[in-house]
Structure 1
Amino acid sequence: MTGLSEFRPVMLVTGVLVATLGAAMLLPALVDLAADNDDWMIFATASMMTTLFGLGLFVANRGAPKGLSTRQAMLMTVIAWTALVAFGALPIHWSGIVPSYTDAFFESMSGLTTTGATVITGLDTAPPGILFWRGLLQWLGGLGIIVMAIAVLPMLQIGGMQLFKAEAFDTAEKILPRATQISMSITLVFIAMTAICAVSYMAVGMAADDAVIHAMTTVATGGFSTKDNSIGFFQNPAVEWIAIIFMFLGSIPFLIYVQVLQGRFRTILVDDQVKAFTGFIAVSVVIGWMMAHFSDSHLGLEGLRHAAFNVISIVTGTGYASTDYGLWGPHAVTFFFIIMFVGGCAGSTSCGIKIFRFQVLFEAVRQHISQVMYPNGVFRAHFNGKPIQDRVVASVMSFFFLFVTSFVVLSVLLRLSGMDTITALSGAGTALSNVGPGLGDIIGPAGNFKSLSDTQKWLLAGGMLLGRLELFTVLVLFLPRFWRS
């Protein structure tokens, strides 16, 4: 069995992250204090408890080896995310805005995984600190996802992510110092983009507090809002267009922004993933526009705006809603159900299967067809001008298989728990794809997850974690072989 010493580097990193989350809780405490709301004491208490626990883990494991093996990196990813969600739920539970820790854990999981599904009603009158904390959870989660996609997942060769392996990450021992350097650059870009988004929202009439929170959840493609009716509350076309732009920008690989700032402007124009994502969005928006128009729900340019907003919101996994697209007809329900799985680019804050995997799948199929037609020919699948290795294709195929299997299993479990078929299927899809709203009257864009049973909420929370950590990272922990030395 695994020796306890193997857990020390895992606990060390987890301790640092938990302590950081505890320090972050002071921000909503200050927001509540400025608003003269007594909830500041709840955040201060949760901050102290979380920080002390994190520092305790750090101190207890000081001197642990700095390198992380593949097994340790997988374990660290799952333990750290689960611990952060568990502690992030404390102020939500203690504030009394939700009736149970289950609800608080669901909300915290939805926040840190940038899913955007909520169990809270009455957001319009909720305490300012809680609203800010929900936004901050998604913002921190979005940043964590980018760093994980750049530093951890390529090293673990999960789901084809090794395509994006930086040269500096050839060995696990190099991961932490190099990840620190890259994550600093990305953090600055992330902060700058959030600030520009917030200022843009304020410029078109959104109140400063709403603008800051919505900027955090837009750039993080998270979807938490300060209003029960989401972005639809504002009834402001300019607000929706700003959200459209920044949801799209949040779904582009953030390393590309760093490269552009270094003067490599061509990168964003020639990247295969960005071109495919942009093309898919354009086609999907046109289809959505036609459905909105011919259902007489939204005509002309208004229909284009609603189509662009809701298509980009669902594809990127943001989960904002400006209107109930379920009213655009039964074909619209099917359309939005399909596109919720696609996702944005790898290395961005967006969710879902990710566009590059569909590109690898397409290239592999094309190579196979060419080989069948010309048996003596030599054909190679390519991505971004480089040949795709067979193990990457196998990894992507495995991901698709696991994703479909996980979706079927979660759907069946939700159906057995008492959900109707549409709610169960869309609930499983929206959890695994980290989208937010599902379909139907209960969890659709005009609904909420509050009425679900505790069992259903725990199942969906597990689905969110599974989808956010790219399946393999979590599922491999259930293999006995993983725990053997």
Structure 2
Amino acid sequence: MAVLDVRPIFYVIGCLLLVLSVAMLAPLAVDLAIGHSDWQVFGVSSALSLFFGVLLMLTNRQADISLNLRQTFVLTTAAWVSVCLFCSLPFMFSEARLGFADAFFESMSGLTTTGGTVMTGLGNQPPGLLLWRSLLQWLGGIGIVVMGIVILPFLRVGGMQLFRSESSDKSDKAMPRATDLALGFGWIYLSLTVVCAVLLVFAGMSVFDAVNHAMTAVATGGFSTQDASAAYWEEPAVHWILIVFMISGSLPFVRYITLVRGDAVPLLRDSQVRHFLILLVTISLALTAYLHVEAGLEVEQALRHASFNVVSIATTTGYALGDYTLWGPGPVTLFFLLFFIGGCTGSTTGSVKMFRYEILWLALRTQINRLFSPRRVLALTYNGKPVDSDVIISVMSFVFVFVGLLLILSVLMGLTGLDFVTSISGVATALNNVGPGLGSIIGPAGSFAPLEDEAKWVLSLAMLLGRLELFTVLVLFSPNFWRS
């Protein structure tokens, strides 16, 4: 059994903790400005993160930072868990006084941009803690974009190797180096956030609420500063602005770079973008007609409520504009299916994502054609590029494992005493990083606070698995992985 050199792993984790300690200064400054005592909690948490971050960096500074395949797999999972542990500190020791299970759940939900919460009475929570929740999702969102474009294609996880050309192939990439690509993502991400915040202020939100919602909308995270989520604001402009930026966060960020450089063709020709937008429009219009006829809503109100909730769930954001579980069994079933859509690859969204459905459709169409024309040679192409058989196998394996985990984790949730709807929708929303589930407990009008700690740990694991595309975590449990 080969010994894994963990020094570069610890060094990178130390760097991440250093960044985390700096991020904690923002909520510290907010609480200090209004004289709230929680600023001390963020000060101590920042100091602890800084101490351990510097300690890891200094004790492992001689390590070769160039990572091999095994080290990258271990780092990806270890980094998320380690950072999540330190992010839990403010939740445990602040005025909220969350237990360890609740604090870890809230942190994991934030960093994975899931949006499920155990906190209630958000309007009365200290502003620093609310900003910390939103900041976690914002930082997690940009981390997800970089991971989805730079790391996961390299690891060949779940068919993501199909997009290696967008980050490492010199013949077809937007910028010459991955570092430049990540820097470009960062500027675009920041620009979208600033524009969204400014528009929300003009639409009627306070500056604090606008900043928080801008961060969680672009990150497709869904944390809000009010228990009623987006329904707290009655201005239609607020809802439409959030719709636009939820969609913006669900599109491939690599296409934004080419768009900024004056070339809109790659964005318009990307099949996953076209199909995703068509799907959103079609379902929104169908649900609008349903609400207008069955619920008697005015056309504009029906269109706004339908579009907002459809976009929120399909992009795995998780905002809520009213309790859509009261719309009837048909819409509730539809929203459950929307849990499994997700946006485009290289975006901040979770779930299965559109490109995998397109690959599955190509494979199905090819198999059907071969039944009546077995000698016919059919070339599979995606966005004009050939699709290798290993990509198809990866996608089919991902879907198979996804369904298997959904069933297994739902059984574990049921063993904690939860009903079927709460169990399966809770696991589905966690694996897909959506946010609210279905039912009276964890639905859009509820929270995850009433669940047992065991259920919260199961959902925390599901959020991590979903965010890291399943195999990145599962491969660590393979004995062959640890052999030379």
Same fold (TM over 0.5): yes
Q: Which range moves more in the overlay, 350-359 or 364-373?
A: 364-373
Correspondence 1:200-239 to 2 at 5 A: 200-239=199-238
User: Counterpart of 1:198?
Assistant: 197
TM-score (norm 2): 0.97
The aligned amino acid for 1:220 is A
The aligned amino acid for 1:53 is F
Q: What root-mean-square deviation, in Å, do the aligned CA atoms of Structure 1 and Structure 2 show?
A: 1.4
C-alpha deviation, 1:386, in angstroms: 1.1
C-alpha deviation, 1:255, in angstroms: 0.7
How many Å separate the matches in 2 of 1:298 and 1:334? 20
Correspondence 1:205-284 to 2 at 5 A: 205-284=204-283
User: Counterpart of 1:351?
Assistant: 350
- Cα shift readout 1:77-131 (whole Å, capped 9, x = no counterpart): 0000001111001011110314311111110000000000000011001101000
User: Counterpart of 1:113?
Assistant: 112
Q: Which range moves more in the overlay, 315-324 or 260-269?
A: 260-269
The aligned amino acid for 1:412 is V
Please tell me whether the aligned partners of residues 149 and 167 of structure 2 are also in contact (alpha carbons under 8 angstroms): no
Distance 1:167 1:467, change over 3 A: closer
SS at match of 2:379: coil
SS at match of 2:6: helix
User: Counterpart of 2:173?
Assistant: none
C-alpha deviation, 1:292, in angstroms: 2.3
- Cα shift readout 1:295-350 (whole Å, capped 9, x = no counterpart): 31634221111000000000000000011111111111111001111100000001
How many Å separate the matches in 2 of 1:8 and 1:205? 50
The aligned amino acid for 1:302 is Q
Equivalent pairs: percent with the same residue?
A: 49
Correspondence 1:9-408 to 2 at 5 A: 9-166=8-165, 169=168, 178-296=177-295, 298-408=297-407
C-alpha deviation, 1:149, in angstroms: 0.4
Correspondence 1:407-418 to 2 at 5 A: 407-418=406-417
- Cα shift readout 1:148-187 (whole Å, capped 9, x = no counterpart): 001100000000101110366379xxxxx94322111100
User: Counterpart of 2:472?
Assistant: 473
- Cα shift readout 1:436-474 (whole Å, capped 9, x = no counterpart): 000010000111111111001111011000000000001
The number of residue pairs the alignment matches comes to 479
How many Å separate the matches in 2 of 1:21 and 1:288? 42
How many Å separate the matches in 1 of 2:239 and 2:382? 34
How many Å separate the matches in 2 of 1:116 and 1:141? 11
The aligned amino acid for 1:318 is T
User: Counterpart of 1:174?
Assistant: none
TM-score (norm 1): 0.97
User: Counterpart of 1:457?
Assistant: 456
How many Å separate the matches in 2 of 1:25 and 1:226? 18
How many Å separate the matches in 1 of 2:287 and 2:444? 15
Please tell me whether the aligned partners of residues 149 and 166 of structure 2 are also in contact (alpha carbons under 8 angstroms): no
SS at match of 1:166: helix
How many Å separate the matches in 1 of 2:54 and 2:278? 47
Please tell me whether the aligned partners of residues 297 and 327 of structure 1 are also in contact (alpha carbons under 8 angstroms): no
The aligned amino acid for 2:3 is G
Please tell me whether the aligned partners of residues 147 and 179 of structure 1 are also in contact (alpha carbons under 8 angstroms): no
Please tell me whether the aligned partners of residues 325 and 332 of structure 1 are also in contact (alpha carbons under 8 angstroms): yes
5+ residue gaps, structure 1: 172-176
C-alpha deviation, 1:376, in angstroms: 1.9
SS at match of 1:169: coil
Q: Which range moves more in the overlay, 389-398 or 7-16?
A: 7-16
SS at match of 1:117: coil
How many Å separate the matches in 2 of 1:207 and 1:116? 21
How many Å separate the matches in 1 of 2:468 and 2:245? 23
- Cα shift readout 1:19-60 (whole Å, capped 9, x = no counterpart): 111111011101111121111111011001011101111111
C-alpha deviation, 1:291, in angstroms: 3.1
The aligned amino acid for 1:344 is G
Please tell me whether the aligned partners of residues 343 and 352 of structure 1 are also in contact (alpha carbons under 8 angstroms): yes
How many Å separate the matches in 1 of 2:297 and 2:34? 39
The aligned amino acid for 2:387 is I
How many Å separate the matches in 1 of 2:128 and 2:469? 31
The aligned amino acid for 2:476 is L
User: Counterpart of 1:3?
Assistant: 3
SS at match of 1:165: helix
How many Å separate the matches in 2 of 1:236 and 1:429? 31
The aligned amino acid for 1:116 is G
How many Å separate the matches in 2 of 1:24 and 1:2? 37
